[in-house]
Amino acid sequence: MARTADAVIIGAGIIGAASAFEMAKKGYKTLSIDKNPAAGYGPTSGSCAIIRVHYSTLEGTAFAYEGYFYWREWAEYLAAEDERGLAQFKETGCLVMCTAQNDFLRSHIANCDALNIPYELWDADRITQQMPIYDLKSFWPPKRLDDDGFGEAGGERVKSGVFFPTAGYVNDPQLSTHNLQRAAEAHGAEFLFKQRVSEILKEGGRVSGVRLADGSEIHAPVVINVAGPASAKINALAGVLEDMTITTRALRQEVVHVPSPAGFDFEKQGLVVSDSDISCYCRPEGGNHILVGSEDPECDPKDWVDDEDYDREFTDQWTTQAYRYAQRVPELGIPSRKRGVVDLYDVTEDWIPIYDRSALDGFYMAIGTSGNQFKNAPIAGKLMTALIDYCEAGNDQDSTPLAFRLPFIDRDIDTGFYSRKREINQESSFSVLG
Ligand SMILES: Cc1cc2nc3c(=O)[nH]c(=O)nc-3n(C[C@H](O)[C@H](O)[C@H](O)COP(=O)(O)OP(=O)(O)OC[C@H]3O[C@@H](n4cnc5c(N)ncnc54)[C@H](O)[C@@H]3O)c2cc1C
């Protein structure tokens, strides 16, 4: 006898686990399947887990602001025990440098004004007061380390920034996924680990379940692809790639961890900073370290890879990012032993995710999260649940997309924004910033 479920969720990362939690609360008997040994052991565990509200589109901003409230109210949202304790949201705020490259944040400020998102305008003195280790010389455009002009400041300086107080980071992204697993299990959800989905089953023109690598079958009228960087492979198994105008690919990323300079406690006094002048973002990291990620400048080649066959060692990309950040923090010590993370984004053409149905009835996808959707996991789980309810009730998501209410900020968004069949969104930053 094959095992059965109301919905099979492929992938137990943060969005997969949040989808299980939200669907289980609505009465679906979900079964999450992951080839890893525990929840959140894929790219979620390598996530920088930054929670921020500044996005280039109004819809992206609204979704992220809604997402913030679930982290702020994490224990209330879960309403469940976890024997490992709860992940913590460190609400440091986020400073974004105003530069010509981001048009001095004009559209971001307009989005925040439209959504009543709080922010403060900081001049150079205020920035230096908060971050005395910062030198505000301008280094634009970003260069590779072997470029002769690397580290040479131009005549300009960064003169201002926008501080968003409703931002920070989650200290343990894997634990937060485990929290969601336990909360989902409290509503009857089940999780199956160390099992690989190898086939999508179909019957009568719709999905009917999955086959696992050990040959066993699980029968379900709904299957959801939340497989992160393996999303395109799962879509290929389901045969649903043809009608998609937006596709997904695995992109390799390196994240740098370096110690804070002597005399400054970055872990306690630091905050999230997005700095397009040096094409780096950063946040505090445990042990008084600074985490430095890349904002994907054009001079860096994109490392598109196979999700299971890629170089997991640091390369000169690590060194380039560390030295780019040292332009801003001249006292930064860069250890010879490289520390940090090598992991994968699942990226779409416009760096905006796909939350949608597919050409195969009953088969859905929450993919293409492009390095920027950890923060949105709880609301993405709610959106997927509502979208599945809507489609399974016979509505045509492609012609009449669901209007979805964001409960905290009390605003509707058009879920067609996340369609697999959309035009490439030209308002995007075309980077991890979304
Ligand atoms: C380096 C890095 C930094 C990031 N920083 C941020 C940030 O600061 N803020 C932010 O909001 N977002 C960030 N992100 C993005 C965020 O982490 C992702 O959007 C999020 O973790 C994706 O979660 P997911 O549920 O899609 O699953 P993933 O974590 O992508 O996991 C997918 C799961 O699917 C499983 N799977 C795949 N194929 C199969 C199969 N055939 N059978 C069974 N299981 C399968 C895998 O084992 C894996 O566990 C970052 C991502 C990375 C990589």
In which band, very low, low, confident or very high, does the pLDDT at 155 lie, cut at 50, 70 and 90?
confident
Query: Residue 376: how many CA atoms within 13 Å on its side-chain side?
Result: 27
Tell me: the pLDDT tens digits for 294-311?
999 999 999 999 999 999
Identify which of 153, 181, 165, 188 has the alpha carbon closest to the alpha carbon of residue 24.
188
Q: What is the pLDDT of residues 128-146, one digit of tens each?
A: 999 999 999 999 999 999 9
Distance CA 348, CA 381 (A): 19
pLDDT confidence tier of residue 395, bands split at 50, 70 and 90: very high
Q: Are 355 and 387 in contact (CB under 8 A)?
A: yes
> Which residue's C-alpha comes closest to atom 15 of ligand 1?
371
pLDDT tens digits along 171-183: 999 999 999 999 9
pLDDT of 35 reads 98
Task: Find the helix packing angle between 106-115 and 58-72, rounded to 10°.
Answer: 60
Residue 225 has pLDDT above 80, yes or no: yes
Nearest ligand 1 atom to alpha carbon 369:
19
Atom of ligand 1 at shortest distance to CA of 34? 44
Q: What is the percent of the chain where pLDDT is above 70?
A: 100
> What pTM does this model have?
0.98
Q: How far is the CA of 3 from the centre of ligand 1 (A)?
A: 26
Measured CA to CA, the distance from residue 32 to residue 44 in angstroms comes to: 16
Which of the listed residues 9, 30, 34, 252 should we mutate to test ligand 1's pocket, taking the one with most ligand atoms within 8 A of CB?
A: 34
Smallest CA separation from ligand 1 atom 21, residue: 44
Cβ neighbours around 153 below 10 Å, total:
13
Q: What is the pLDDT of residue 369?
A: 98
Dihedral sign, CA of 402, 406, 410, 411? Answer: negative
pLDDT tens sequence across 348-368: 999 999 999 999 999 999 999
Question: Does residue 344's CB lie within 6 angstroms of at least one atom of ligand 1?
Answer: yes
Q: Is the CB of 196 under 6 A from ligand 1?
A: yes
Average pLDDT (253-282) is 97
Q: Cα(322)–Cα(332) distance, rounded to whole angstroms?
A: 9
| Ligand 1 neighbour 34 (Cβ under 6 A) | yes
Neighbours of 76 (CB within 10 A): 8
Pocket of ligand 1 contains residue 340 by CB under 6 Å: no
CB-neighbour burial class of residue 67 (10 A; exposed 0-12, middle 13-18, buried 19+): buried
- Is the C-beta atom of 21 inside 6 A of ligand 1? no
Q: Above 90 in pLDDT, residue 193?
A: yes
Residue 42 alpha carbon to ligand 1 centre in Å: 6
In this prediction, residue 354 carries a pLDDT of 98
Q: What is the pLDDT of residues 62-121, one digit of tens each?
A: 999 999 999 999 999 999 999 999 999 999 999 999 999 999 999 999 999 999 999 999
Atom of ligand 1 at shortest range from CA of 226: 26
Closest C-alpha to ligand 1, atom 27: 13
What is the atom index within ligand 1 of the atom nearest the CA of 344?
A: 53
CB of 228 shorter than 6 A to ligand 1: yes
One-letter-per-residue 3-state SS of the chain? CCEECCEEEECCCHHHHHHHHHHHHCCCCEEEEECCCCCCCCHHHHCCCEECCCCCCHHHHHHHHHHHHHHHCHHHHHCCCCCCCCCCEECCCEEEECCCCCHHHHHHHHHHHHHCCCCEEEEHHHHHHHCCCCCCECCCCCCCCCCCCCCCCCCCECCEEEEECCCEEECCHHHHHHHHHHHHHCCCCEEEECCCEEEEEEECCEEEEEEECCCCEEECCEEEECCHHHHHHHHHHHCCCCCCCCCCEEEEEEEEEEECCCCCCHHHHCCEEEECCCCEEEEEECCCEEEEEECCCCCCCCCEEECCECCCCCCHHHHHHHHHHHHHCCCCCCCCCCEEEEEEEEECCCCCCEEEECCCECEEEEECCCCCCHHHHHHHHHHHHHHHHHHHCCCCCCCCCCEEEECCCCEEEEHHHHCCCCCCCCCCCCCCCC
Report how far ligand 1's centroid is from the alpha carbon of 369 (Å): 8
Counting beta carbons within 10 angstroms of the beta carbon of residue 22, is it exposed (0 to 12), middle (13 to 18) or buried (19 or more)?
buried
Q: What is the mean pLDDT of the chain?
A: 97
- Sequence-distant (6+) residues with CB within 8 A of 11 are 32, 33, 34, 42, 225, 226, 227, 228, 230
Q: Is 35 in the pocket of ligand 1 (CB under 6 A)?
A: yes
How far is Cα 252 from Cα 192, in angstroms, rounded to an integer? 27
- Ligand 1 in reach of 46 Cβ (< 6 A): yes
Per residue in 17-56, pLDDT tens?
Answer: 999 999 999 999 999 999 999 999 999 999 999 999 999 9
53 lines ligand 1 (CB under 6 A): no
For ligand 1, say whether the CB of 364 is within 6 Å of any of its atoms: no
Test site for ligand 1: of 44, 180, 181, 193, most ligand atoms within 8 A of the Cβ: 44
CB 50 less than 6 A from any atom of ligand 1:
yes
Write the single-letter amino acid at 98. Answer: C
**pLDDT tops 80 at residue 1:** no
**Quick one: pLDDT at residue 413?**
96
